Amino acid sequence: MANFSETECCIETRALHAGAIPDPTTGAILTPIYQTTTYRQEAVGKDKGYTYSRAGNPTVSALERRLAGLEGARYATCFSSGLSATTALLLALLKAGDRVVVSEVCYGGTVRLLRQILEPFGVNAEFVDTSDEQVLRDALSTPARLVFIETPANPTLRLTDISFAAELAHAAGAIVVVDNTLLSPVLQKPLSLGADIVLHSTTKFIEGHNATIGGCLITDDEALRDRFDLVRKSTGTIQSPFDAWLTLQGVKTLPLRIRQHSENALEVATFLASHPRVSKIFYPGLESFPQHELAVRQQGSGGALIAFEVEGGVEAGIALMNSVKLCSLAENLGSAETLITHPASMTHGAVPAEQRAAAGITDGLVRLSVGLENPVDIIADLTQALETAKGKGAVA
Ligand code: PLP
């Protein structure tokens, strides 16, 4: 980059400029979509850094420089989805007989991958409440290769103190990864809190427009980065140049969007918390949230996600989700549009019922990813949907 120090810039500036290199041929301000399979080599053994687009692609590299810059890290490796990033992480670090300690509340696809795909290969996953000091200590009294933390956790938004968990995990000889998908580097930088690796589904806030599926792994450790690159090349899970290009455009407004998402979510959560038909609400930005103090210290604001239960339980919750008009009933989060999701049947449907129950993912839980509409309109939609859900199910 030309005349300024990327590492000293504010995050808004980095979202636009980190790793940007004007096109050497035309000066085009946007990195072109290098839609090419292969690269002509000058002589045997003499290439320009790229040989085949399953191993590396200049558009994907531009996104990797941008995402590393946003996390304040040295390296990023981009994948075709958040779950292919998780898969690469686990394949890169684990072998048969290894143990991984995982936040018991986490994205359902992570649970499915560990339980249904990796456990048959001999990987031992233990799901524990990583937010509980004693539980984590006990879990780490048996050797573990990896501690996989999701904070805030999808969908109940339980928080884990990253500095504390990283200290315990490192003392036990484990590597620490934090899934930072629900906040993005604008609100939380796990590497600066002691984590070794950050994982993102870029599908969510980073790209932010419901346009792509993608993921990445970020680290300061060159050996880890090399291992992630090797797994990606060997399993063929690099992100496509077009999706990387779209993500490069989406990420430019990430700091602005995430701030507005959080402001809107606080307004919507305040409305829901005082609504007579909302029986339970989880939003880290509310003072009533049990870990509010940690939320303020670790992530600064509440973020965009709210989880809640409606008076009348499952039936009323489902009636509400079926009645929204502006909000969309859909699987995803972190997009400009407000999305409402039923975790028990959608995002966490693959999590065994007992594990869902232990993690507080009730059948009536509603997850709301608050978008960028005016909150007045979101609240009006929820008001009419709550009215429709009135009288449904068993009211205590
Ligand atoms: N991590 C979290 C916290 C998620 O919510 C998700 C998807 O919802 C993923 C990872 C997986 O990402 P992707 O859907 O891009 O594979």
Active-site annotation holds for 227: no
198 pLDDT above the threshold of 70? yes
The domain ranges of the chain are 6-251, 254-389
Sign, Cα dihedral of 353, 146, 347, 186: positive
Which residue minimizes the CA distance to atom 4 of ligand 1? Answer: 107
Question: Any idea what the Cα angle at residue 8 is, between residues 5 and 11, rounded to 5°?
Answer: 110
Say if residue 108 is exposed, middle or buried (CB neighbours under 10 Å; 0-12, 13-18, 19+): buried
pLDDT in tens, 277-297: 999 999 999 999 999 999 999
Task: Write the DSSP string, 317-383.
Answer: HHHHHHH-SSSEE-S--SSSS-EEE-TTTTTTTTS-HHHHHHTT--TT-EEEE--SS-HHHHHHHHH
DSSP state, 300?
Answer: S
Pocket of ligand 1 (CB under 6 A): 81-83, 107, 109, 150, 154, 179, 181-182, 201, 203, 213, 215, 347
Which residue minimizes the CA distance to atom 15 of ligand 1? Answer: 82
- The CATH number given to 6-251 is 3.40.640.10
- Domain 254-389, CATH class in plain words: alpha beta
* pTM (global) more than 0.95: yes
Catalytic residue among 161, 179, 196, 381: 179
Active-site annotation holds for 204: yes
Sign, Cα dihedral of 279, 349, 197, 3: negative
Are the CB atoms for 221 and 243 separated by under 8 Å? no
pLDDT in tens, 218-272: 999 999 999 999 999 999 999 999 999 999 999 999 999 999 999 999 999 999 9
199 pLDDT above the threshold of 90? yes
Q: How many CB atoms lie within 10 A of CB 201?
A: 29
The rounded Å distance from CA 80 to ligand 1 centre is 12
Q: How many CB atoms lie within 10 A of CB 387?
A: 12
